[in-house]
Amino acid sequence: MSLRCVAVTGLGVLSPIGNNPKLFFQNLMAGQSGVKKINAPFADDLDCKIAAYIDDFEPLDHFVKNKAATMDRVTQFAVVASQQAINDAGLDLEKEDLERIGIYLGTGMGGAASIEEGYIRLYRENAKRLKPFTVLMAMNNAAGSQVALDFGFTGPDLTFCTACSSSSIAIGEAMRQIRHGYADVMLAGGSEALLTFGTIKAWEALRTLADEDQTDPSKSCKPFSSDRSGLVLGEGAGIVVLEDMEKAIARGAHIYAEIIGFGSSNDSSHVTQPSIEGQTRAMRKALNEAGIQPSQLDYINAHGTGTKLNDSTEAASISKVCGTGIPISSTKSLHGHIMGATAAIEFIACMMAIKEQSLPPTANFTSPDEGCELDFIPNIGRKNVRVHTIMSNSFAFGGTSGVLIAKKIS
């Protein structure tokens, strides 16, 4: 059987800088940051008091009260972003073969809020019993399973948990499901809602969080800049609709791009320290599958977390594989690091870059660090530029890398 081409036909996003793809990308291009002071009741007990959180999401705008009460925030995000993506793709599910539609979702922490609420009830409040739905709200596959249930998908359903690269792996593997004929349509992406007291304290202990910028908290995440100090945690969801290209064309769907390459690898060297060799393996695999040379790339969306070691390692990896002439940006400078959903949200930024022929900036960039002297699109986005072929990098704790390559359909 010949391999099928895979189109991206729908986008859905909830993020700290916009709850639909158009607004999300407008704010990226404008350099509008979603990083702000944490306003939760536990903020005074944190050392790190900044995060990129969504403050305009009301569950009851999307779900009846009883249903909302049985879903963790991470699942609510996933369902809403999936509905957006389906609507954007123009899919009429009543006319689709639901056995040929699946959902591949990435998440790092799953139902973090439900887990923490259970611990609080048990160990602080000495409760004798927990909510009956605690397990079903907390399990990592809750979000993907709820999407399949709500929309009636009976095709492949898998949840990927590879830390920061979870949704890149989900999109790449979903692409393969279609390419090899196991499905005709796949929803793929990630969801994350981990801004809880316990999770933030755990990240504080790891000593990777950014120092708060004393002049403007929104400027605290500074990827690739010489004064970077760490990452900023975020929350949100990104879902894309992937579709067999012939099917998409036949139904007259708008096609954002074709996914042409996916590469994954493991560093197998250290659980937290990134490896140049591991990252270059993933990029080269993606380029090889895409059948293109690095010089054919118009844009790279970098993993670019804002930590000293991550950014210098990635800059070296990109230089080794792609040279120094390709425009690069880290959009985490604006929407934060959304862990298991980050790769999908950044891939959506790439799809919008192709659509709008514009490149988002790396915000808060002051001066290049030694070893990071590449074109990081500092501070100001670029409009009316050629964006035909993109690469999106995702490199994770644990060493799992995911790299996606897509191109504009002429």
Residue 317 domain-assigned (yes or no): yes
Give yes or no: residues 171 and 144 share one domain: yes
**Residues ≥6 apart with Cβ < 8 Å to 364:** 213, 219, 220, 221, 222, 223, 225, 333, 379
φ/ψ (deg, to 5) at 234: -140, 180
Region class of 110: left (phi > 0), else alpha (psi between -120 and 50), else beta? left
Contact call for residues 140 and 107 (beta carbons, < 8 A) = yes
Burial of 57 (0-12, 13-18, 19+ CB in 10 A): middle
Q: How many domains does the chain have?
A: 2
Q: Which helix (H) or strand (E) holds 281?
A: helix 276-290
AA letter at 157: D
Q: What pLDDT, on the 0 to 100 scale, is given for residue 371?
A: 74
Q: What pLDDT, on a 0 to 100 scale, did the predictor assign at position 194? A: 97
What does the pLDDT read at residue 398? 93
On whether both 194 and 243 belong to a single domain, the answer is yes
Helix (H) / strand (E) containing 393: strand 389-395
Rounded CA gap, 287 and 96, in Å?
33
Same domain for 332 and 189? no
- Neighbour order of strands in the sheet with 6-14: 157-160, 101-106, 185-192, 236-244, 6-14, 257-266, 400-407, 389-395, 299-301, 328-329
Indicate whether 98 and 233 sit together in one domain: yes
337 part of the active site:
yes
Active site residue 254: no
**End residue of a domain, out of 250, 285, 317:** 250
Q: Tell me whether residue 281 is in a domain.
A: yes
Q: Which of 48, 221, 303, 322 is catalytic?
A: 303
Pair (267, 224) in one structural domain: no
Q: Which residue pairs from 269-278 have beta carbons closer than 8 angstroms and sit at least 24 positions apart in sequence? A: 269/399, 270/399, 271/397, 271/398, 271/399, 272/206, 272/397, 273/309, 274/309, 274/310, 274/313, 274/314, 274/395, 274/399, 275/313, 275/399, 276/313, 276/316, 276/317, 276/320, 278/395, 278/399, 278/401
Residues 17 and 86 in one domain: yes
Q: What sign results for the dihedral spanned by CA atoms 374, 368, 206, 197?
A: negative
Residue 220, in any domain of the structure: yes
pLDDT at 1: 65
CA 338 to chain centre: 6
Encoding tokens for residue 212? Answer: 């708060």
- Are 57 and 94 in the same domain? yes
What's the pLDDT score for residue 69? Answer: 95
Q: How many whole angstroms separate alpha carbon 19 and alpha carbon 192?
A: 14
Q: What is the value of pTM for the model shown?
A: 0.97
Same domain? 214 vs 339:
no
**Which residue is catalytic, options 48, 322, 335, 337?**
337
Catalytic site includes residue 62: no
What CA–CA distance (Å, rounded) separates 315 from 386? 23
CB 377 within 8 A of CB 230: no
Does one domain contain both 223 and 270? no
2 secondary structure, DSSP code: P
- On whether residue 237 sits in a domain, the answer given is yes
* Cβ density class 16-46: b for 16+ within 10 Å, e for less: bbbbbbeebbebbbebbbbbbebeeeeeeeb
Note down the domain range covering 346.
Answer: 262-407
Torsion angles phi and psi, residue 295, rounded to 5: -65, -15
Bridge partners, 190 (sequence order): 106, 238
- Taking only the tens place, the pLDDT of each residue in 174-201 is 999 999 999 999 999 999 999 999 999 9
Residues 220 and 178 in one domain: yes
Token pair 């996933």 is found at 78
Does residue 373 fall inside a structural domain?
A: yes
Residues in the chain where the model's pLDDT stays below 50: none
Contact residues for 213 (Cβ-Cβ < 8 A; gap 6+): 219, 220, 364
> Which residue type sits at 338?
I
Q: Are strands 382-383 and 358-359 parallel, antiparallel or unpaired?
A: antiparallel
Instruction: Decide if 336 is inside a domain.
Output: yes
Whether residue 257 is contained in a domain is answered as no
Indicate the residue among 250, 274, 306 that finishes a domain: 250
pLDDT of residue 135: 94
409 exposed, middle or buried (CB, 10 Å; 0-12, 13-18, 19+)? Answer: middle
| 352: CATH | 3.40.47.10
CA distance 36 to 40: 12
Q: Is residue 192 located within the same domain as residue 290?
A: no
Within-domain flag for 53 = yes
The last residue of a domain, from among 204, 224, 250: 250
Q: Are residues 159 and 292 in the same domain?
A: no
